[in-house]
Amino acid sequence: MATYTCDYLVIGSGIAGLSFALKAAEQGTVMLISKADIEETNTRYAQGGIAAVTYEPDSVEKHIEDTLICGDGLCNKEVVRMVATEGPAQINQLIQWGVKFDKRATGEYDLAREGGHSEHRILHHKDNTGIEIQRALTSKVKDHKNIRVFERFFAVEIITQHHLGEMVTRHKTDTECYGAYVLDLRTQKVDTFLAKSTIMATGGVGNIYHTTTNPIVATGDGIAMVYRAKGKVENMEFIQFHPSSLFHPGERPSFLITEAMRGFGAILKTADGKEFMHKYDKRESLAPRDIVARAIDNEMKISGDEFVYLDVTFKDAADTKNHFPNIYEKCLSIGIDITKEMIPVVPAAHYLCGGIKVDMNGESSIKNLYAIGECSSTGLHGANRLASNSLIEAVVYADRAAKDAVAKSKNIKINNQIPAWDYEGTTHNEEMVLITQSYKEMQQVMSNYVGIVRSNLRLERALTRLGILYNETEELYKKSILTQNLCELRNMINVGYLIIKNAQNMRESRGLHYSLDYPKSKGSEF
Ligand code: FAD
Ligand code: SIN
């Protein structure tokens, strides 16, 4: 049961956490914790790339407009302008840190296009941009003398006045964060990490669904921790289902077939080889994701098929292999030559647009607690995220949060009165299988009732069933010595609850939230 102190405690080692760490470490000490190996993040799985304006005819105004249209009237316009404007400088920062984006023979960046973008503006590294970003940033962080990395350390709760015996309520505005209790997964002991500022960079929630593109680390831990600490969490109903994950039953996570392939010209078709996107949107296969995912869901329901096809066979084979080497190899490994055969695809839970509510510097409603990257809700995405706007949001907010935290740190004292983690009344859990079973049930509930298409009845059923799992899990949590699985299950149930409650409060369909009971949008400027 060790106690560690630093200026900045960063929880998460994806693009958001690593970028913040590199910036803040120029001004103070950083401890960066990651519940798995440092490289196991959603960031590493990113394929298509990172959206930012580089050359004419593209412009910041066009990036803003595309983001607003995609967000279906719920984006914060000031935030959209800020991210589109500050994005290019952060691209340069990534390049300085050693990230390599593909160039054409002419020396210009090879910009791709994805759904909802009016221009080619996606910087990428082949079809595995995430691996390249993770590689470059990890190497910089590991070499930095002011950053100490803790791999296989699992953050359990953030520390607030509650741990000093004071009442903390959701309506209080002076709740402060002093750090976090963290489970060392090798010793199974809970350590105390104290810091002037704590930065939540814990990523997404994909694993609450059965079919997801997210790796197993994406269990919504940061959002659940902040919610339990009475911080503000918003827009949780806007779960983005990516239209095209490879249909390969039994494989988790589902392998993504990047939207850049549709930008390259690939076309969606039903199992009998017919195009269908023209029935749903004039942008056809390049419409925003909410529209494409719903269209595929509808076609699958009409035909009873388990997938639709993505057809890239008519493109030049060498060109396809050159642009998508990772996808080519993956499909070939399961017997599909994408230059000759169509790719079976299904929608999969991919991204959370909402999360921990933050201001324009990434600070949450809890003092000295920041949230950046996918776990945050900045207002950029509104009701639906524009493709490749996630990575750019993460670096822009990491930069802003670092500047803000550094400026404020001079006036913050580390709180040394924090008690050690209380183990009282807990024993080893003899029946770990109960956790696995509840995990599966939770995924079933969310997938069956809180998917692409929702209804009042489905949401009510989900809430009732999740309520049972909630009670059982809380009971187990109180009695058991902590394990990662138990904490993750508890977090995912918390997050599932927030999604359902937010969805129930919607009295319209908008962006990623579609309800059979309220099929219309209340209207917006876009
Ligand atoms: P992550 O990269 O997910 O990192 C989260 C970190 O938090 C991990 O290190 C994890 O171990 C750690 N963590 C979580 N909980 C705890 C805990 N309790 N204790 C300690 N550590 C914890 N976006 C784009 O813009 N362009 C793309 O091309 C793109 N492609 C994608 C492809 C796939 C397959 C997926 C899944 C996502 C894609 N996205 C893309 C989305 C984007 O990759 C993510 O939104 C982004 O990488 C999130 O970065 P992050 O730093 O917020 O979180
Ligand atoms: C993709 O490559 O299709 C994913 C892009 C994203 O999620 O922004």
3-class secondary structure for 264-296?
CCCEEECCCCCECHHHCCCCHHHCCHHHHHHHH
Ligand 1 close to Cβ of residue 12 (< 6 A):
yes
- In terms of domains, do 194 and 330 share one? no
State yes or no: is 113 an active-site residue.
Answer: no
Among 22, 23, 43, 388, say which to mutate for ligand 1: greatest number of ligand atoms within 8 Å of CB.
43
Q: Is 362 in the pocket of ligand 1 (CB under 6 A)?
A: no
3-state DSSP assignment of residue 168:
coil
Asked whether residue 27 falls in the same domain as residue 54, the answer is yes
For residues 513 and 506, the answer to whether their CB atoms sit within 8 Å is yes
pLDDT at residue number 525 = 47
SS3 label, residue 491: helix
Helix/strand/coil percent split, the chain, to 5: 40, 20, 45
The predicted pLDDT at position 526 comes to 45
Query: Residue 149 corresponds to which tokens in the numbers above?
Result: 């990395």
Closest ligand 1 atom to the C-alpha of 391? 25
Among the listed residues 433, 413, 426, 420, the one whose alpha carbon sits nearest the alpha carbon of residue 485: 433
For the chain, the domain total comes to 3
Tell whether ligand 1 has an atom less than 6 A from the beta carbon of residue 36: yes
9 and 153: one domain?
A: yes
Residues 437 and 489 in one domain: yes
Whether residue 521 lies inside any domain: the answer is no
Q: Are residues 162 and 145 in the same domain?
A: yes
pTM: 0.97
Tell me what pLDDT residue 460 has: 98
Closest ligand to Cα 181: 1
Query: The domain spanning residue 489 has which CATH number?
Result: 1.20.58.100
CB of 46 closer than 6 angstroms to any ligand 1 atom: yes
Both tokens of 355, joined, read 């999360």
Structure tokens at 42: 């959603």
Q: What is the pLDDT of residues 477-502, one digit of tens each?
A: 998 889 999 999 999 999 999 999 99
Q: Nearest ligand, CA of residue 39?
A: 1
Can you give the C-alpha Rg of the chain in angstroms?
A: 22
Residue 127 sits at φ, ψ, to 5 deg, of -110, 30
Which residue has the least CA distance to atom 33 on ligand 1?
A: 46
Distance CA 52, CA 58 (A): 9
**Ligand 2 site: residues with CB under 6 angstroms?**
47-48, 258-260, 351, 387-388, 390
* φ/ψ (deg, to 5) at 339: -80, -15
Q: Find out whether 156 and 106 touch, Cβ atoms under 8 Å.
A: no
Residues 71 and 138 placed together within one structural domain of the fold: yes
> In terms of domains, do 78 and 191 share one?
yes
In a domain, 422, yes or no: no
CATH number of domain containing 302? 3.90.700.10
Task: Determine contact, residues 164/417, Cβ cutoff 8 Å.
Answer: yes
Alpha carbon separation from 165 to 28, 222, 366, 418, 494 (Å, rounded):
30, 22, 17, 10, 23
Residue 189 makes CB contacts below 8 A (sequence gap 6+) with: 1, 2, 183
Of the bound ligands, which one is closest to the alpha carbon of residue 385?
A: 2
Domain assignment present for residue 204? The answer is yes
Q: Does residue 469 lie within any of the structural domains?
A: yes
Are the C-beta atoms of residues 393 and 222 closer than 8 Å to each other? no
Query: β-strand 343-352 against 308-311: which pairing, if any?
Result: antiparallel
Q: Which atom of ligand 2 is nearest to the CA of 351?
A: 7
pLDDT confidence of residue 357: 98
Minimum-distance ligand 2 atom for the alpha carbon of 386:
8
483: which residues sit within 8 A by CB, 6+ positions away? 188, 429, 432, 435
168, 175 Cβ separation under 8 angstroms: yes
Confirm if 418 and 36 have CB atoms less than 8 A apart.
no
Looking at the structure, tell me whether residues 157 and 232 fall in a common domain. Answer: yes
Q: What pLDDT score does 524 carry?
A: 57
In a domain, 71, yes or no: yes
Examine the fold and report which residue of 333, 349, 365 is the final residue of a domain before the chain moves on. Answer: 349
Residue 149 gets which letter from DSSP? Answer: E
Cα–Cα distance, 327 to 346 (Å, whole number):
15
Contact at 8 Å (CB) between 484 and 356? Answer: no
| In a shared domain, residues 155 and 43 | yes
| Inside any domain, residue 421 | no
Q: Which of 44, 113, 121, 289 is catalytic?
A: 289
Residues 345, 380 share a domain: no
Q: Which of 391, 482, 490, 495 to mutate to test the pocket of ligand 1 (most atoms within 8 A of CB)?
A: 391
Residue 392 CA: which ligand 1 atom is closest? 25
Residues of the chain with pLDDT under 70: 429-430, 523-526
Q: Give the DSSP H or E segment for 325.
A: helix 325-333
| Any domain includes 232 | yes
Q: Which domain holds residue 125?
A: 3-237+353-409
Cα-to-centroid distance, 31 and ligand 2 (Å):
30
Q: Is 201 in the pocket of ligand 1 (CB under 6 A)?
A: yes
CB 466 within 8 A of CB 204: no
Using the 8-state DSSP alphabet, how is residue 174 labeled? -
**88 & 183 share domain:** yes
- CATH code: domain of residue 106: 3.50.50.60
The answer to whether residue 254 is domain-embedded is yes
Backbone angles phi, psi at 34, to 5 degrees: -145, 135
Kindly report the protein residue whose alpha carbon is nearest to atom 29 of ligand 1.
46
Cα–Cα dist 132/138, whole Å: 10
Which mutation among 126, 133, 213, 242 tests ligand 2's pocket best, with the greatest number of atoms within 8 A of CB?
242
Tell me if 13 CB under 6 Å of ligand 1: yes
Are residues 193 and 88 both part of a single domain? yes
